[in-house]
Structure 1
Amino acid sequence: MAKRAIFEEVGTSERKAVATGGIDAARKGDRLAVRLWLGILFALVVVMIAVGGMTRLTDSGLSITEWRPVTGAIPPLSQADWEAEFELYRQIPEYQLQNRGMTMAEFKVIYWWEWGHRQLGRFIGLVWAVGFLGLLLTKRIPPGWTGRLLGLGALGGLQGAIGWWMVASGLTGTMLDVASYRLATHLGLAFVILGLIAWFMLSMARPASDLLQARRLSETRFMTWGAVLVGAVLFQIIWGALVAGIDAGRNYIDWPLMAGGLTPPGMWEMAPWWRNLFENDGTVQFFHRLWGYVLFALVIWAAMAARRSPNRKTKIAFTAVAHMTFLQILLGIVTVMYSSPWYLAIVHQFGAVVLLVLAIRARHRAKYPLAQSVRTA
């Protein structure tokens, strides 16, 4: 054997490298498994948002008048079952005041949309439960993540309850649709869940040690900007749900004016005044437009500020938000000017998904800057 220097460490460096590499490899595998599961949930929630949008656009949301979390998964299997479901629908205001004379064939169309929406919700809950329990029992959830992943399931359960709270608002009185503020709550929570999944996936894409090191280089100013943009986008999405809830997007189809004026006629005609913010189609659409302009200004300002970041990928992330915001505004204008046909409305809604995820990514980049070479700085 070759002689060693008197102060040379003996046999430690190689063993440490092997041990550390083994631990990192194991953790990397755990994070990949969680990320794949979250990716499936993310895709399902995006589909759920689209199906929910179609359910609203086809006026199908009130076709099932009972909330049966377990037995409701079984659709009508006989003509007698269909008659019973149709009879329940005939008792609510939407049928009596709007759809009187509807045929069984027409009822089946709206029934299947709502049944599919609820069934997809059950399937998402099943995917979460099987994935979470599987990862938990095999001890593949990284340290510190159990509570956060459990919280996703709790929010999913809450979303189901809010869904029924929303539907219940349209079953009595003279309501022809669900209450718009309940619809906004339901859609808003869906986007919150989607945003959390996106944030978790971004974090799971990198080793914990990498995130810890990157956190020391976080840019507080741009983290704040990122938070502002995420909040502003969510607010616009919720206001968009109010627009959808009262079909406000199908009136006042001129732009940039509304019925030839800067503001719609009768903007504050309801009493008390605050009802106009939820029930007056002109007022609701006006503020949705107005906040779109405010959001665009905020996004441009944030993108200009982010140009001072020393991290190239952080700059790119904020610039991407600006580009998507511009595209989303164009989609909104076209959707309104064509009186919100379902295909444009769904594309506009999907644009909101992309915009929110990009805003979340921008904040994540600011909080955990990606490593870069001197050449790309």
Structure 2
Amino acid sequence: MSQPLPRPTLRGNHRVWQVVEAEGELAALGRLKTGRTRPGVHRFDPRCFANEEDVLIELALLGMRRIAPVYRLVGADDELRVHGYIEGQPLSAIRPPGTALTGSELGQIVDLFGKLATIRPSAFALVHRCPPVLRPRSSRQFLQTLIRFTRRRVYAVHRPLMRDLFTALRIGPTVLSATGPLAREAAKLSDRPFCLLHGDLHRDNLIVAESDGMLWTIDWELALIGDPLYDLATHLHLMRYPPGQEHALLLRWARTMDAALPGSAAGLARDLPRYLAYKRVQSVFTDVIRQAYLVQATPPAQLAEQLPHTVEVVHGVMRKASRMLGLGRVPSPRSIEAAYAAWYVNAPPPPSVATADQATTAATRPGGP
């Protein structure tokens, strides 16, 4: 495996990928990509599995189609696991967020949810890394676990560095507390049977294949075992369907899921808003922190160019979550810019180039080779 391509590097949120042309005995495999973990990457979501390759291998054994194959290349000293490269471009390049999908594309996404619903937790018992005693057993516990993760592993971890920024933006842990509004809503959830969840199904992780225009699903890093309604909420939160198409998706999702996993659509109308409220709050903490690291890594000469983008992102997510955050008024774009500018002056400089790299919010892969 050799010959790097003219644009061989794909930078994702969790790994940096090298795309290479297979040669010799491997030539029939076409292009391959091999990933390495980005140093110092911050985790904003819980993980059920040690790595994506374990998930993909198990899915392939279960007959899942249109996912990247994983190959084990055995060398003299060790084993390298590489992915097949899906030739095509992200759905986001063809249908940007806010635009409608075709009927075929919508049907393929609903079918994917249906296939995941048939995969029971026991099918991944060998690669599931969470101790059984700590795994949630109900939908209520599942959402409570997500809230607790965001409170402890996202807010609390970054608070020492970003205390002044959080204060200036008027966001704190109350909304994430064990007795806060999200937890109170979680206690009202209907129970649904668990299955495998993709955890990050959006337009950048759906690849339109060059060969036949069908959708392939990539980036299974955040796969979970849990409530299927969470996967739907994450999908809706990230996809930004037009309202009419979102309603059509919900109807098809409910029919498909009930057939594949009876009871998985129970309480849909009541519980979907509860998961969406969590996703909006989670986005506030995640994007405030990500943008802080991105600003921190910006050279002074480029700060005036970066800050408007940061303001747009942060103001957008805070506006969507304002009710659950208990904000009478969302901080204005001017006050958000002032908060980040002040934090930039007082924050310690990035410790290394790796810190700047980890803040990059590029898509999982660029459009096309």
Instruction: Output the TM-score relative to the length of structure 1.
Output: 0.27
Judging by fraction of residues, say which structure has more helix: 1
Which one has a bigger Cα radius of gyration? Answer: 1
RCO higher in 1 or 2 (8 Å CA, sep ≥ 6)? 2
Instruction: Compute the TM-score of the two structures, normalised by the length of structure 2.
Output: 0.27
